[in-house]
Amino acid sequence: MLKNMLKATVFATTLALATGAISMPAFAEVTYNRGNSADPESLDPHKTSTVYEAHILRDLFFGLVMQDQGANLIPGAAESWTVSDDGKVYTFKLRQGATWSDGSPVTAEDFVYSFRRLEDPATGAEYASMLYPIVNAEEVNTGKAKLEDMGVKAVDASTLEVTLKAPTPYFLEMLTHQAAYPVNKAAIEKLGADWIKPGNLVSNGAFTLAEFVPNDHIKLVKNPKFYDAANVKVDVVNYIPTEDRSTAIKRFEAGELDSNDDIPTEQMADLKAKFGEQLRVGAQLGTYYYAMKWDKEPWTNLQLRKAISMAIDRDFIAEKVWQNSMLPSYTMVPPGIEGYTPIAADYAEKTQIDREDEAAKILKELGYGPDKPLKMEIRYNTSENHKNTAVAIQEQLKPLGVEVSLVNTDTKTHYGFLEQKGDFDTARVGWIADYKDPETFLGVARKASGNNYSVYNNPKFEEAMDKAAAAGGKPEERMKDMQEAERIVLEDTGFIPILYYSYKNLVSSKLKGFDENVMDVHPTRFISKVE
């Protein structure tokens, strides 16, 4: 009986294999659950400004030039480029056969359209000023020239020519920013604002948008039309908003998150003991600062702004609030940029006691004190770390007769409010380098910058920045002009630098290719996951 059953089984299996009735098991789908500190305000590359959005857009879109897992420049949508002898004309050769996710070809005209769209005043792009090095970009953005006057030209379908006003050393690195990514003209013209929704969004990166459930997850799936799809090891990446860092830690520990881009720093010691090498902390090019509303009384008073800045004990905040995972900052530009020495605020060398005494004296001369308190509001976005920082500053200013009230909103609301130039006294801002050059930090203080939340405006600062831009071909002269610009903005206390950033990532040992770098850039296309 058993013998006959075995014969029958062998016969049935052989028949099934011959007819294709049995399929071999497929490889398991690789899913990467990626904690991201906040939901994006938008998935339109021309209407975003934060690193939370950059992580996602870096997976969806593919600029002319991109960054690898070490934040090194690599060819992107352009497979090669040449630069003219005078450093002003860049000619990019696009990848042959590259397509959008809908199968249509990626052409030089797509980049012409996208660069013009960024500068079009109707777009309202915060990062429009980033492309001002391009001929007539500023004029287009300020309504003084036509879109067609901008120095971008499609020589043919696969050749893009970009002409700059002056040599710009950081231009290629600048193109790695999401604002310089191409967008699909046909989708935008057909769908309007709905072009960024799942099922509508046409992109050219390693992944495409499958789902977007606010406050829950954003699901991206591998793009089979991406030129290097064969080497992309992750099939699905879920971006999960984790504004509550403590909850994120629990989800990471439970295996629900494979990585998270921040931690509650008051738990630093415990997290190091618990997660060991899975907790990665290191230097990052970034400045944590407070923006003061420059055109609002009483903050129009330079001495008042300076008193507030001097009274903030940065050493205490770095050590006690951030558990030495951040460093005290007295400059807008952090250290670590080759060829540039940051200029510190003039009171940086004084002791904290001397700073506080001087701050108290200024406040008294201005008529403020315990009997007549100065009221100040601090706005910050949701995070235990930002809250603890604001509370520490609140306590530090109290003995000087400053009554501080705190306003907390989620990250999307916080930055939306600042972008709309809302009414505030001071607000927390973090600036992570878009490229390894001091201009990325000082550029936020320019009058035309959409990221100038303080509404800071000083013609002398603008003149120094203009001189630096014009000296693009003379590195030493350019850096001296940048130093002068930094000296001016710090002397004006246009912004209050508090800390230098560090990255604080939790990374599962199952992930490979999540390499540490000072830009904290980790494209999913270079990451793999092993069970």
Task: State pLDDT tens for residues 163-202.
Answer: 999 999 999 999 999 999 999 999 999 999 999 999 999 9
H or E element: which one contains 45? none
How far is CA 141 from its chain centroid?
A: 22
In a domain, 136, yes or no: yes
The answer to whether 219 and 524 have CB atoms below 8 angstroms apart is: no
pLDDT at 132: 97
* 336 & 459 share domain: yes
pLDDT at 27: 66
Average pLDDT over residues 432-438: 95
The domain that contains 522 carries what CATH number? 3.90.76.10
Per-residue pLDDT for 14 more than 50? no
pLDDT at 136: 98
Neighbouring residues of 404: CB distance < 8 A, sequence distance ≥ 6 = 376, 377, 378, 390, 393, 394, 397, 398
Per-residue pLDDT for 488 more than 70? yes
DSSP annotation of 382: S
pLDDT at 473: 85
Per-residue pLDDT for 15 more than 70? no
Q: Is the dihedral of CA 421, 496, 356, 367 positive or negative?
A: negative
How far apart, in whole angstroms, are the C-alpha atoms of residue 470 and residue 208? 40
Overall pTM > 0.85? yes
Per-residue pLDDT for 245 more than 50? yes
pLDDT at 28: 85
Closest CA to 334 of 98, 503, 216, 505: 503
**In DSSP terms, which residues pair with 529 in a beta bridge?**
511
Q: How many helices (H) and strands (E) does the chain have?
A: 16, 19
* 218 & 338 share domain: no
pLDDT, the chain, mean: 94
Task: Quote the percentage of the chain above a pLDDT of 70.
Answer: 95
The domain that contains 295 carries what CATH number? 3.10.105.10
Buried b (16+ CB within 10 A) or exposed e, 17-54: eeeeeeeeeeeeebebbbbbbbbbbebbbbbbbbbbbb
pLDDT class of 531 with cuts at 50, 70, 90? confident
In a domain, 377, yes or no: yes
The answer to whether 184 and 65 have CB atoms below 8 angstroms apart is: no
Per-residue pLDDT for 10 more than 80? no
Per-residue pLDDT for 246 more than 60? yes
* 337 & 464 share domain: yes
pLDDT class of 3 with cuts at 50, 70, 90? very low
pLDDT class of 55 with cuts at 50, 70, 90? very high
Per-residue pLDDT for 2 more than 50? no
H or E element: which one contains 60? helix 51-60
Helix ranges (DSSP H) in 291-383: 302-311, 314-316, 352-365
In a domain, 4, yes or no: no
Report the domain count for the chain: 2
* 447 & 301 share domain: yes
* 157 & 302 share domain: no
Per-residue pLDDT for 254 more than 50? yes
**In DSSP terms, which residues pair with 164 in a beta bridge?**
134
How far apart, in whole angstroms, are the C-alpha atoms of residue 338 and residue 437? 8
Closest CA to 141 of 172, 114, 120: 120
Q: Give the orientation angle of helix 459-470 with respect to helix 475-491, to 10 degrees.
A: 170
- The neighbour count for residue 82, using CB atoms within 10 Å, is 9
In a domain, 82, yes or no: yes
pLDDT at 418: 95
Closest CA to 516 of 284, 288, 335: 284
* 299 & 224 share domain: no
CA atoms within 13 A on the CB side of 20: 0
494 Rama sector, left if φ>0, alpha if ψ -120 to 50, beta otherwise: alpha
DSSP annotation of 95: P
- Read off the pLDDT of residues 362-402 as tens digits, 9 standing for 90 and up: 999 999 988 899 999 999 999 999 999 999 999 999 999 99
* 216 & 337 share domain: no
* 519 & 475 share domain: no
In a domain, 414, yes or no: yes
Q: Which amino acid makes up residue 370?
A: P
**In DSSP terms, which residues pair with 404 in a beta bridge?**
376
Range of the domain at 347: 282-504
Q: What is the DSSP string of 98-154?
A: -B-TTSPBP-HHHHHHHHHHHH-TTT--TTGGGGTTBTTHHHHHTTSS-GGGSSEEE
How far apart, in whole angstroms, are the C-alpha atoms of residue 504 and residue 468? 33
Per-residue pLDDT for 4 more than 60? no
In a domain, 93, yes or no: yes
Task: Quote the percentage of the chain above a pLDDT of 90.
Answer: 93
Please report the beta strands in 150-268, taking only residues with DSSP state E, as ranges in sequence order. 152-156, 159-163, 207-213, 217-222, 236-241, 259-260
* 329 & 216 share domain: no
In a domain, 56, yes or no: yes
Over its C-alpha atoms, the chain yields an Rg (Å, rounded) of: 26
Per-residue pLDDT for 16 more than 50? no
* 425 & 518 share domain: no
- Read off the pLDDT of residues 205-243 as tens digits, 9 standing for 90 and up: 999 999 999 999 999 999 999 999 999 999 999 999 999
* 214 & 287 share domain: no
**What's the helix, strand, coil split of the chain in %, to 5?**
35, 20, 40
In a domain, 95, yes or no: yes
* 464 & 515 share domain: no
